[in-house]
């Protein structure tokens, strides 16, 4: 469910304070000029975007921060790889003294996963859908970019090794050692979403089926499995006491991998091991860092206690 303290008006106000001289009135008028009235804010706004539904047949108009632009090559690739789960996206340039980039985006069905609460049967459908999503990435592998260097990952893990609590020391050390396996092989690379959180997964409220994956601003070509931390968001929940896996999390995870292997067909034991390595590295990088004033820093109990508790729960699970 949505956090109790989520305040749509406050989120919008904060966004425009950070992106002056643009104003919500300017953005609303821009959307009306493009698609006509009515104009309505979507109920959940991203940290780096202001999103509207505009026109009689509502279409998404999104105004994004310069630090979170959508790469047309990546959005096009996402559509090619994931078909109906990814939206067609068209750029409409910039506005308000280049303070915001404008996009018109196909409206996908469903609601944000974070807004619903499912029983095990519907939750299973979401997990199965996510497995098929990852299977499509595996099947449609991508050439390894020349800029994809082991040293970049090792440097970030080294940062974590100097700042993380002792209970994560072994996990980080193991991940650094296993980077040699991940990069010293021909393990496949794939389109990686980069921000596969609860807000960016769309689901059918009635069935739990995955209907879309949105916000591809952080998409890139990476070793397959680096964004498998997104699976963890479907296996448990966070509250004031930390991260907790559902009682049925083992069954959900089993359903994920059963579906994944069915979709991709035969896969070697070496590749299975490399997927697991990539998954663990991805979990560390996703929850081990936080952006503060435009600088990426390792989390601390003061800046990211929830992230630390998620890491602890994941690596204790084994």
Question: What pLDDT, on a 0 to 100 scale, did the predictor assign at position 190?
Answer: 98
Evaluate whether residue 299 is within a structural domain.
Answer: yes
Query: Are residue 280 and residue 296 in the same domain, yes or no?
Result: yes
Judgement on whether residues 149 and 173 belong to the same structural domain of the protein? yes
pLDDT of residue 147: 92
Number of domains in the chain: 2
Give 285's strand partners. none
Residues 24 and 136 in one domain: no
pLDDT at 298 over 50: yes
Domain range enclosing 49: 8-105
Mean confidence (pLDDT) of the chain: 94
Identify whether residues 94 and 119 lie together within a single domain. Answer: no
Q: What are the pLDDT digits (tens) for 37-72?
A: 999 999 989 889 999 999 999 999 999 999 999 999
Q: Stretch 93-116: mean pLDDT, rounded?
A: 95
Domain contains 140: yes
pLDDT, tens digit, for every residue of 209-238?
999 999 999 999 999 999 999 999 999 998
pLDDT tens sequence across 229-284: 999 999 999 888 889 999 999 999 999 999 999 999 999 999 999 999 999 999 99
Domain of residue 39, CATH code: 3.30.200
> For 133-160, what is the mean pLDDT?
97
Look at residue 1 and tell me if it is in a domain. Answer: no
Domain shared by 130 and 196, yes or no: yes
Closest CA to 66 of 124, 109, 19: 19
Of the candidates 75, 105, 135, which is a domain's last residue? 105
Q: What is the mean pLDDT of residues 72-78?
A: 97
Round to whole Å and give the CA distance between 64 and 196: 18
Q: Domain for residue 19, yes or no?
A: yes
Answer yes or no: do 204 and 227 share one domain. yes
Q: Which two tokens stand for residue 134?
A: 């990852």
Q: What is the pLDDT of residue 4?
A: 43
Last residue of a domain, one of 105, 121, 152: 105
Considering the domain boundaries, does residue 310 fall inside one? Answer: yes
Q: Please tell me whether residues 68 and 204 are part of one structural domain.
A: no
How would residue 185 be classed by pLDDT, with cut points 50, 70 and 90?
confident
303/258 same-domain check = yes
User: Do residue 33 and residue 131 come from a single domain?
Assistant: no
- C-alpha gyration radius of the chain: 20
**Is residue 2 in some structural domain?**
no
Please give the pLDDT value at position 47: 86
Give the number of other Cβ atoms within 10 Å of residue 103's Cβ: 21
Judgement on whether residues 89 and 43 belong to the same structural domain of the protein: yes
Segment 115-132, tens digit of pLDDT: 999 999 999 999 999 999
Domain boundary among 82, 105, 128: 105
């Amino acid at each position: 469910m949505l956090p109790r303290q989520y305040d749509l008006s406050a989120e919008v106000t904060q966004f425009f304070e950070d992106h002056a001289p643009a104003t919500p009135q300017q953005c609303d008028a821009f959307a009306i000029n493009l698609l006509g009235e009515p104009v309505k804010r979507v109920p959940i706004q991203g940290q780096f975007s202001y999103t509207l539904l505009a026109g009689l047949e509502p279409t998404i108009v999104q105004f994004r921060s310069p630090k979170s632009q959508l790469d047309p090559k990546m959005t096009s690739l996402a559509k090619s790889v994931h078909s109906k789960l990814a939206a067609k996206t068209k750029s409409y340039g910039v506005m308000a003294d280049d303070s915001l980039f404008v996009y018109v985006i196909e409206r996908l069905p469903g609601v944000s996963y974070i807004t619903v609460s499912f029983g095990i049967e519907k939750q299973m459908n979401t997990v199965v859908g996510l497995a098929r999503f990852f299977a499509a990435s595996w099947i449609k592998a991508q050439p390894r970019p020349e800029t994809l260097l082991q040293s970049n990952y090792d440097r970030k893990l080294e940062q974590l090794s100097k700042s993380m609590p002792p209970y994560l020391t072994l996990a980080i050390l193991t991940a650094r050692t296993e980077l040699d396996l991940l990069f010293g092989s021909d393990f496949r690379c794939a389109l990686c979403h980069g921000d596969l959180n609860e807000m960016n997964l769309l689901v059918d409220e009635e069935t739990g089926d995955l209907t879309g994956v949105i916000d591809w601003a952080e998409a890139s070509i990476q070793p397959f499995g680096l964004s498998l931390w997104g699976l963890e968001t479907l296996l448990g929940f966070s509250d004031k006491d930390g991260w907790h896996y559902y009682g049925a999390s083992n069954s959900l995870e089993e359903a994920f991998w059963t579906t994944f292997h069915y979709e991709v067909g035969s896969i070697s034991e070496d590749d299975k091991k490399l997927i697991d390595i990539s998954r663990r590295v991805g979990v560390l990088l996703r929850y081990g860092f936080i952006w503060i004033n435009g600088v990426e820093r390792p989390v601390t109990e003061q800046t990211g206690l929830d992230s630390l508790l998620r890491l602890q729960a994941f690596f204790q699970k084994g």
